């Protein structure tokens, strides 16, 4: 059998032609290409529609991940639809299903293409004959092989088979595959496209759930100070206290190299001199609950110099009480804590420390006695 052969099947009832269909390799390629293109177009349209919906909702997604997701879904679903459409295009099915090519009480693939060529399936109840290069063969004799429900007969080039099953007649002819490829039915690819909607919907939901709000642009209203121009001195001081307490978490760095006994919460009085723009002109630590054994004032003053405050109606010089809180980082206990405290106490009693001991003390303090406030 030549590869350029095609099969034409005519479906008749009581001598009236109901439908005619042709099976060919070119028809399979056309059906597969139509299904692939249609599903790919639907996936592209869905990706654009979801992107526009997210843009209208002021939400964004990570571009490379979004494109990769829709590209994988689109190509995968389109390839699957094309494979299914090609497999359906190479078979002429009869049965009671809505997608079958002809009605029959006996569901079966009447004609299908295999690697060896086209084959006709014959079963009980079929009558007729097969004409070809050889003498005509009666269908009844071929369909009565013992132990076989269906018998497949190859269709040679130029062969013709007249098959009768009840009131239905099927005329199968092997003809050269030449001329223009017939247009596929409008619902041939549509049945495979419907199955692609589920993965596309899943991709749309994944895009929506992975979207994040768009960062709002900073306008002139956002640049205005949270402290109104008509605020009283007491209201200004309360606002500055709240801002200082919010930034007090940065003070924990001053306790990293201190003994374990200093790793506790407490209060400090932060003195600042602010300009009208909220810039710190000078800063100092007026008082604290940490004694001479915990020298943190100098470090705290350096940390406070990096703080920022809202613009205020007029320059001010004020002392802000700040509570220094303990962090969630665990402290060492047992022998490690006692050894760290003992070594630091002995160093302070000596009053002078050589550079090597200082380096070792800092290293051990960061590893063993480190504590955040």
* pLDDT tens, N- to C-terminus, the chain (373 residues): 444 788 888 999 988 888 888 888 888 888 888 889 989 999 999 999 999 998 888 888 888 889 999 999 999 999 998 888 888 888 999 988 888 888 888 888 899 988 888 888 888 888 888 887 666 778 777 766 555 577 888 887 778 888 888 888 999 988 887 766 665 665 666 677 777 788 888 888 888 888 877 765 656 655 567 788 888 888 888 888 888 888 888 887 777 677 777 777 888 898 999 888 888 888 888 888 888 888 888 888 888 888 888 888 888 899 989 888 755 455 555 555 556 566 666 666 665 444 444 444 444 444 333 333 3
- Helices 197-209 and 25-56: crossing angle in degrees, nearest 10, is 20
pLDDT attached to residue 6: 85
Cβ(242)–Cβ(288) below 8 Å? no
CA–CA separation, 372 vs 228, rounded Å?
Answer: 36
Strand duo 160-165 + 5-13: pairing: unpaired
DSSP annotation of 272: E
Phi and psi at 65, nearest 5°, equal: -65, -40
Phi and psi at 50, nearest 5°, equal: -65, -40
What are 131's two structure tokens?
A: 């004409």
In angstroms and rounded to an integer, the radius of gyration of the C-alpha atoms of the chain is: 43
What are 256's two structure tokens?
A: 């990293």
Cβ(361)–Cβ(353) below 8 Å? yes
CA–CA separation, 101 vs 177, rounded Å?
Answer: 21
SS3 170: strand
pLDDT attached to residue 356: 44
Longest CA span, the chain: 121
């Amino acid at each position: 059998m030549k590869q350029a052969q095609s099969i034409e099947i005519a479906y008749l009832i009581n001598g009236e032609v109901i439908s005619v269909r042709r099976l060919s390799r070119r028809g399979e390629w056309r059906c597969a290409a139509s299904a692939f293109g249609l599903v790919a177009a639907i996936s592209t349209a869905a990706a654009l529609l979801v992107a526009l919906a997210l843009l209208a909702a002021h939400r964004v997604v990570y571009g490379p991940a979004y494109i990769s997701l829709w590209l994988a879904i689109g190509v995968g679903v389109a390839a699957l639809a094309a494979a299914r459409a090609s497999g359906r295009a190479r078979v002429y099915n009869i049965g009671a299903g809505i997608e079958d090519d002809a009605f029959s009480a006996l569901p079966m693939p009447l004609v299908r293409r295999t690697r060896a060529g086209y084959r006709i399936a014959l079963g009980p109840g079929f009558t007729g004959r097969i004409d070809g290069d050889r003498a005509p063969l009666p269908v009844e004799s071929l369909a009565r092989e013992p132990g076989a429900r269906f018998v497949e007969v190859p269709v040679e080039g130029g062969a013709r088979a007249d098959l009768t099953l009840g009131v239905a007649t099927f005329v199968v002819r092997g003809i050269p595959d030449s001329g223009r490829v017939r247009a596929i039915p409008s619902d041939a690819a549509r049945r495979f496209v419907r199955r692609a909607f589920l993965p596309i919907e899943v991709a749309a939901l994944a895009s929506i759930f992975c979207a994040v709000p768009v960062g709002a642009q900073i306008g002139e209203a956002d640049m205005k100070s949270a402290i109104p121009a008509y605020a009283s001195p007491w209201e200004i001081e309360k606002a500055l206290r709240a801002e200082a307490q919010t930034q007090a978490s940065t003070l924990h760095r001053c306790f990293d190299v201190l003994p374990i006994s200093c790793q506790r919460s407490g209060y400090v009085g932060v003195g600042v001199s602010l300009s009208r723009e909220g810039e710190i002109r000078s800063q100092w630590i007026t008082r604290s609950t940490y004694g001479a054994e915990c020298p943190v004032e100098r470090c705290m003053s350096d940390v406070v110099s990096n703080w920022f405050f809202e613009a205020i109606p007029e320059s001010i010089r004020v002392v802000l009480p700040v509570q220094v809180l303990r962090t969630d980082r665990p402290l060492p206990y047992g022998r490690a804590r006692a050894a760290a405290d003992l070594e630091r106490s002995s160093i302070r009693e000596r009053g002078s420390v050589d550079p090597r001991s200082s380096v070792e003390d800092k290293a051990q303090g960061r590893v063993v006695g480190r504590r955040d406030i």
